[in-house]
Every structure is written in C-alpha cells, then in structure tokens.
C-alpha cells in the first residue's frame, strides 16, 4: 500500500488528537506504529530512549498488526528528537530491500516523526521525569513543523482560542476578524458553509469518529484558499451536549492546485486520444502480479469492447480474451519486460466481442515503482486489416489495396501522433527547466530519457510523413543553386556533438569552394544529415567519416557534381545490398542495439530522385561503406 505525504500528515494528526482525547501517549504511539507498519507493509520497531541513550521501552508491529517473531532485512533507522532532546528511534526493517530510498522516505515521514517525538516527550508512564513542554504546546509545535495549526473551540461561548496562527496564515490579525466560530464562518466560501456544518454535525451525532472537511476560505488579499480541517469533541456536558472541541487546520491550496492541474492534464490527454486511431494506455503489474489498466483511452471500448472501470480494477478478464495460442507468449514477454525494464512490443490476437478475432499490435515502455510493481505507458492499435493485406500480396489487386491502406494509415498516423507527442516533449522540457519545483537527479535522468525517446519518435514520424508524401506525389521540391561549402559545413556542425560522443572524426574534402548544385537546399541538407548520421551511428570508436564533394564528368549535355559519404564502420553484407533502400527494412541491424526505423535511406533515395539525381552505394563488411550522390551542377 502506498501513501502520500498528506496521508502521513493526517495519520500524525490523528495520533496527536487521540492523545488529547485519552491522555495516553503510549496508546497513541502504538496506534501510530501499527498504522505505519500496515501502510508500508514492513515490520516496524519504536524505541523510547532515556536521556543517556538507554532503552525505556520498545514496541513492534508488522503488516496485519500482529508482531513478527523475526523481522526480515536490514533496518532503516530514523532518530526522533524534539526541543533538542533525543527521545527515541524508529526502525523500518527491510525498507531498502522493498525499494525505499532512505532520504526520500525520511522526508515523507517528517510530520509523523515530529508527532512521535512529541508523544514520547509526553509519555510519563514509564519515565517519571516531567516533559519539557506542556501537552498543548508540544502538539502545536509538532504540527507547525508540518505546516498545520491547532485550534480549540469552547462551544458554549463560541470562543475560538489558539487561532492566531491560522489568522496570520490568511494575512489577518485577531482584532480584525474576531475569535468566534461565527466570525470564522464569515470567511468561509458561502457554497462550502452548509457542507462544513454538516460534517461537524455528523461527528457531534456520533456518526463519525472525528470531524473532517475541506473548504475554501477568503484570505486578506481577497483570494480563496483551500483549508483542510480535522477535529474531535474532547469534552461533553452531562446531558450529552458537546462542550469543547480540539482540532487542526492545514492550508492545502497548493495540493488542490496540483490536483486540478493533474485533472486538466488528464482531460487534455483524453481529448488528444480521441484523435489517435489506436488506444493510449497505462498498464501496471503490482508486486503480487495482479494486472490492471489504470488508464485506457475511450477508443478501447470501440476497438476491444472493454469495460474501462473493470479493466482499471483488474485486467485478468481482458487478459483471458487473448487467443490461447498467443496468451503464454504475451504473458512471458510482459514478465521479461518487467524484469529487464526493456521496451515491450508484441502482436497478438484478441476476441473483441461482436467484432470477432482482431490482431492487436502494442508497444510500451516500463518503469519500476517504489513498491516493487511495474507500470507501462504505451499505445496499441488494431492491425487486423494490415495483416490480412500482407497475406494477400500475391494478388496484384490485393497488393495495390495494401499499398493504399498502408499509405493512408501511415499518413494519418504521422499527422495525428504529432499532437500527443509534441505535448509529451513540451511537458518533459518544462519539467527539465522548472526552477520552482526542481526534479531530483533520478527524476531528471528519467525525464531526459522520455524527451530523447520522444525526439527519436518525432524524427521517425517526420520520415514517415515524408515517405507517404513522396509515394502520393504531394511532396514538392524548389530547385535553386545551392553553394555546397556552406551547406556541407552546416551539416557537419550539426552532427559534431553526435560524432564526439561516438568518438568518430568528421572530415570535409571540397575540391572547389565554388561548387554549387541544382537542388532543393532544405531537402539536400536532409539527405546529407541522413547519410552522415548513419555513417556515425554504424561506425566504430576511433573511426572516421569523410564528406567528399567534387565535379563529375559532363553527361547529357549537363554539368554534374558528386557528393560521397565514406565511413570506416561495420559495413553491409553483399546479400543485403539489393535490399538497402527498401522501406522498413533494417537488414542485419533489425536485431542490433542501434535505434532506427528503416525509413531514412528510402526517403534519401526518393529525395535525390526528385532533385533529378541518383544515388549508389558500395560496402565491405568490417571495412566500411560509401554512398555516392550525383546531382546536376549549378
């Protein structure tokens, strides 16, 4: 079970109020320890210590509240101090083995540790030494450490004491507002008053163990702040009427703003998902291997006939609808992806209700959670028609239909995926530069990976869009005289960081600085970047890439020039050379570690052809490759 900082703060408040109600600090500490153990799923030990460091007493609790005979794993120790005095130690056994970070966990438990220390100082049953502060002062000090303030309400006189801190938090002075509940109510938003009073009445009638409510309250600057209040009636009249109440108040405006921002992001994602042909999803596998889909875009109802609420609670039913012939492979691949945190990509058949058997292609990236579970974020879509067309390519008519379907599909996918992908890239860049809410080093590394993966995908989408526009004849080129020296130096400068990180040397050999090509400058630069980046990626450490530009012999009554990109890389097998420019064919690199889509060379040849040029390649395995372009000279 996971808990937020707000959950720990609420637990700490509850323990302090329990102490006020019972006057028994030891009971409140036992309640705190048991709840902590249950929420973390760990064996916990609380040591009360004397001033000389000796043990006063020790309590233990394990998940399920029953104590364990033999705690498992090395313990994380958190000291408990208050008013400069060490009063105890909290031990969490096996926390590191469960994936918890000591610094992060210690910060989350800050309010709880402050409360535990305050309660230990008020525990006089086992130590006759008087506490160093009164109970109310100690509670107030502990809660202020967590950004919370205490109030006390004399119900008969309607007098609120100890609310100066709360008024100061809102920018008021006590004499400006008054110290009665009636005066405080005048600050509460009119739409929240009735619900707030009803929450109090439920507690006063015994229907709730304590009073708790969140409402808006007007600050001195006129803005509405969100307050969370918790309290308990601690004294009653003989006739059963409430007499005195004690509670806490916390400004949760920032928390509400974060929740609202998250809600807006979710709504925006759903609007984006409506324009994506497939399904955006989040899939998780908890530590007990229970599968869930916390999020699936609405298109899942249409494509798979999925009940989204049921899939969010337990995806076992959906997993059982995978065709039995594919189910074991899907399950094994998910477990392998969770173990290695590797990209998951799979095709499988699903019984999609009235639509019958459908082929689904899914891709997602995994992340490990602190509780040991794994969560994937990905995309799946129906590829049934594509698979059927692939099997029908022997027939010419079917082959033409498959080509049209592919072109239409890629064009639509390229356009529609740019919107959500640009949102992902934009938010990842905002996270990296946000100075108000800085990321940890680990978070920054993960956000960087998200951004780099998104940029890679965006480049793939651009290549896809170019390829479909070329195939459909809609890509136009603007032919002008293009000075080659400036263009070559620009391309090399753009790729020097990649070459540096790959330990590859870039060299330019320009036979005549005045050489110019008859070409589209933007598309020729794209061609150079494609060829040069491939030469760097498939090179070796210490290798080199040469860009050579020289005049070519005249032909057909025209002047020509050649552009050659030559590398010292891994080379290409002779059997693969005839398939070099086929789209989506990565040849031997399909099983390699270098990312790619198999589209770049196809786009490169198509662009060269559009500019009235030609391209040819030669290679030798283990020696290197050479790509030579011939274009009309200006």
Mean pLDDT for 627-631 is 94
Half-sphere exposure of residue 36: CA atoms within 13 angstroms, side-chain side: 34
- The answer on pLDDT for 198 being more than 90 is yes
DSSP tag of 438: P
406 and 495 housed in the same domain = no
pLDDT computed for residue 398 by the predictor: 60
Sequence-distant (≥ 6) Cβ neighbours of residue 434 within 8 angstroms: none
The lowest-confidence range among 358-372, 499-513, 611-625 is: 358-372
The pLDDT-based confidence of 559 (bands split at 50, 70, 90) is very high
Half-sphere exposure of residue 338: CA atoms within 13 angstroms, side-chain side: 20
List, as own/partner pairs, every contact residues 261-269 make where C-beta atoms lie below 8 angstroms and the sequence separation is at least 24, other chains included.
268/423, 269/297, 269/420, 269/423
The lowest-confidence range among 147-161, 199-213, 537-551 is: 147-161
465 and 334 housed in the same domain = yes
pLDDT digits (tens, 9 = 90+) for 251-270: 888 878 877 776 676 666 66
Q: Cα angle at 188 between 185 and 191, to 5 degrees?
A: 115
| Most trustworthy range by pLDDT among 165-169, 391-395, 506-510 | 506-510
CA distance 299 to 277: 8
3-state DSSP assignment of residue 429 = helix
- The answer on pLDDT for 212 being more than 50 is yes
353 and 400 housed in the same domain = yes
113, 146, 179 - which closes a domain: 146
Q: Strands of 614-620's sheet, edge to edge?
A: 505-510, 544-555, 558-567, 624-632, 614-620
3-state DSSP assignment of residue 634 = coil
441, 472, 503 - which closes a domain: 472
Mean pLDDT for 555-584 is 88
Residue 495's alpha-carbon distances to 143, 498, 545, 600, 604, in angstroms, are 56, 5, 11, 16, 17
Domain with 68 in it: what CATH number? Answer: 3.30.450
Note whether 328 and 336 are within 8 A (CB): no
On the 0-12 / 13-18 / 19+ scale of CB atoms within 10 A, 70 is exposed
Separation of CA 285 from chain center: 16
Match 């994937």 to its residue by tokens: 376
Instruction: For the chain, give percent helix, strand, coil, nearest 5.
Output: 45, 25, 30
- The answer on pLDDT for 628 being more than 90 is yes
Mean pLDDT for 47-60 is 87
pLDDT computed for residue 216 by the predictor: 93
Domain with 465 in it: what CATH number? Answer: 3.30.450.20
492 and 426 housed in the same domain = no
b/e sequence 417-451, b meaning 16+ C-beta within 10 Å: beebbeebbeebeebeeeeeeeeeeeeeeebeebb
DSSP tag of 188: B
- The answer on pLDDT for 136 being more than 70 is no
> In 209-343, at which residue ranges do the beta strands (DSSP E only) sit?
211-218, 224-236, 242-251, 279-285, 291-296
pLDDT digits (tens, 9 = 90+) for 270-308: 666 566 678 888 898 877 778 888 888 877 877 777 787
Structure tokens at 454: 């998104």
b/e sequence 464-475, b meaning 16+ C-beta within 10 Å: bbbbbbbbeeeb
625 and 493 housed in the same domain = yes
Q: Could you give the percent of the chain with pLDDT greater than 70?
A: 84
* Count, residues in the chain: 634
The lowest-confidence range among 36-45, 136-145, 442-451 is: 136-145
Which of 569, 607, 567 minimizes the C-alpha distance to 589? 569
Domain with 599 in it: what CATH number? Answer: 3.30.565.10
pLDDT computed for residue 127 by the predictor: 45
Match 């030559």 to its residue by tokens: 566
Top-confidence residue, 72 or 50: 50
Structure tokens at 284: 């998780």
- The answer on pLDDT for 89 being more than 70 is yes
449 and 320 housed in the same domain = yes
81, 116, 146 - which closes a domain: 146
- The answer on pLDDT for 174 being more than 70 is no
The pLDDT-based confidence of 5 (bands split at 50, 70, 90) is low
Sequence-distant (≥ 6) Cβ neighbours of residue 464 within 8 angstroms: 410, 413, 414, 597, 599
On the 0-12 / 13-18 / 19+ scale of CB atoms within 10 A, 308 is middle
CA distance 532 to 546: 9
CA distance 517 to 626: 20
196 and 307 housed in the same domain = no
Stated pTM of the model: 0.36
Residue 430's alpha-carbon distances to 255, 265, 601, in angstroms, are 19, 14, 33
412 and 518 housed in the same domain = no
Q: Could you give the percent of the chain with pLDDT greater than 90?
A: 25
625 and 536 housed in the same domain = yes
Number of domains the chain is built from: 4
pLDDT digits (tens, 9 = 90+) for 220-244: 999 999 998 888 888 889 898 998 8
Match 């959950």 to its residue by tokens: 7
399 and 544 housed in the same domain = no
Which of 439, 428, 384, 444 minimizes the C-alpha distance to 409? 384
Mean residue pLDDT of the chain comes to 81
**Which range of residues forms the domain containing residue 573?**
480-632
Q: For the chain, what is the radius of gyration of the CA atoms? A: 34
321 and 454 housed in the same domain = yes
Note whether 376 and 282 are within 8 A (CB): yes
pLDDT computed for residue 193 by the predictor: 93
3-state DSSP assignment of residue 13 = helix
429 and 328 housed in the same domain = yes
Pure H helices in 341-395: 384-391
Pure H helices in 205-273: 253-273
| 522 φ, ψ (degrees, to nearest 5) | -65, -45
Note whether 377 and 344 are within 8 A (CB): no
pLDDT computed for residue 72 by the predictor: 56
Which of 62, 56, 63 minimizes the C-alpha distance to 89? 56
CA distance 565 to 535: 8
pLDDT digits (tens, 9 = 90+) for 484-542: 999 999 999 988 988 999 999 999 999 898 999 999 998 999 899 999 998 998 899 99
> In 489-569, at which residue ranges do the beta strands (DSSP E only) sit?
505-510, 516-519, 544-555, 558-567
CA distance 532 to 574: 21
């Amino acid at each position: 079970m996971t808990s937020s900082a707000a959950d720990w703060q609420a637990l700490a408040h509850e323990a302090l109020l329990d102490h006020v109600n019972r006057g028994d600090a030891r009971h409140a500490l036992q309640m705190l320890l048991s709840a902590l153990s249950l929420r973390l799923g760990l064996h916990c030990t609380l040591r009360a210590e004397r001033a000389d460091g000796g043990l006063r007493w020790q309590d233990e609790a394990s998940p399920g509240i029953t104590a364990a005979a033999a705690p498992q794993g090395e313990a994380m120790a958190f000291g408990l101090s208050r008013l400069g005095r060490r009063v105890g130690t909290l031990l969490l056994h096996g926390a590191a083995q469960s994936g918890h970070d000591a610094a992060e966990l210690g910060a989350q438990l800050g309010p709880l540790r402050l409360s535990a220390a305050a309660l230990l100082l008020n525990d006089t049953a086992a130590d006759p030494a008087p506490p160093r502060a009164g109970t109310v002062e100690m509670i107030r000090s502990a809660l202020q450490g967590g950004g919370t303030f205490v109030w006390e309400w004399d119900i008969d006189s309607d007098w609120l004491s100890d609310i100066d801190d709360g008024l100061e938090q809102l920018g008021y002075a006590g004499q400006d507002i008054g110290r009665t509940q009636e005066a405080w109510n005048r600050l509460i938003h009119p739409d929240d008053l009735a619900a707030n009073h009803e929450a109090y009445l439920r507690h006063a009638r015994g229907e709730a163990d304590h009073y708790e409510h969140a409402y808006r309250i007007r600050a001195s600057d006129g803005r509405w702040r969100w307050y969370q209040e918790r309290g308990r009636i601690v004294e009653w009249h003989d006739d059963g009427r409430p007499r005195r109440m004690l509670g806490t108040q916390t400004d949760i405006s920032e928390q509400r703003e974060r929740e609202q921002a998250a809600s807006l992001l979710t709504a925006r994602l759903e609007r984006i998902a409506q324009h994506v042909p497939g399904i955006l999803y989040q899939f998780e596998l908890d530590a007990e291997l229970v599968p869930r889909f916390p999020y699936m875009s609405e298109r899942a109802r249409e494509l798979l006939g999925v009940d989204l609420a049921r899939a969010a609670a337990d995806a076992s039913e959906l997993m059982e609808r995978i065709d039995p012939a594919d189910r074991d492979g899907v399950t094994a691949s998910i477990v392998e992806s969770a173990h290695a945190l590797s990209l998951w990509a799979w095709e499988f058949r699903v019984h999609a209700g009235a639509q019958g058997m459908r082929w689904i292609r899914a891709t997602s990236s995994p992340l490990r959670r602190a509780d040991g579970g794994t969560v994937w974020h990905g995309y799946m879509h129906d590829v049934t028609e594509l698979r059927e067309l692939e099997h029908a390519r022997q027939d010419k008519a079917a082959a033409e239909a498959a080509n049209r379907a592919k072109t239409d599909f890629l064009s639509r996918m390229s356009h529609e995926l740019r919107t959500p992908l640009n949102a992902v890239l934009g938010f990842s860049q905002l996270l990296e530069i946000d100075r108000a809410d800085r990321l940890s080093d680990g978070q920054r590394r993960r956000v960087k990976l998200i951004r780099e993966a998104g940029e890679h995908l965006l480049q793939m989408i651009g290549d896809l869009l170019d390829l479909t526009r070329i195939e459909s004849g809609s890509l136009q080129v603007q032919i002008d005289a293009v000075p080659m020296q400036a263009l070559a130096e620009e391309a090399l400068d753009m790729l020097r960081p990649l070459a540096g990180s790959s330990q590859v040397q870039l060299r330019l050999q320009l036979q005549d600085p005045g050489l110019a090509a008859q070409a589209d400058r933007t598309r020729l630069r794209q061609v150079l970047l494609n060829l040069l980046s491939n030469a760097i990626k498939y090179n070796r450490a210490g290798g080199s890439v040469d860009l050579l530009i020289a005049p070519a012999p005249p032909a057909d009554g025209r002047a020509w020039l050649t552009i050659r990109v030559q590398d010292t890389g891994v080379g290409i097998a002779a059997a693969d050379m005839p398939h070099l420019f086929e789209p989506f064919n990565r040849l031997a690199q399909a099983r390699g570690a270098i990312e790619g889509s198999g589209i770049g060379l196809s786009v490169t040849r198509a662009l060269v052809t559009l500019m009235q040029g030609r391209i040819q390649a030669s290679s030798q395995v283990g020696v290197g490759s050479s790509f030579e372009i011939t274009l009309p000279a200006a």
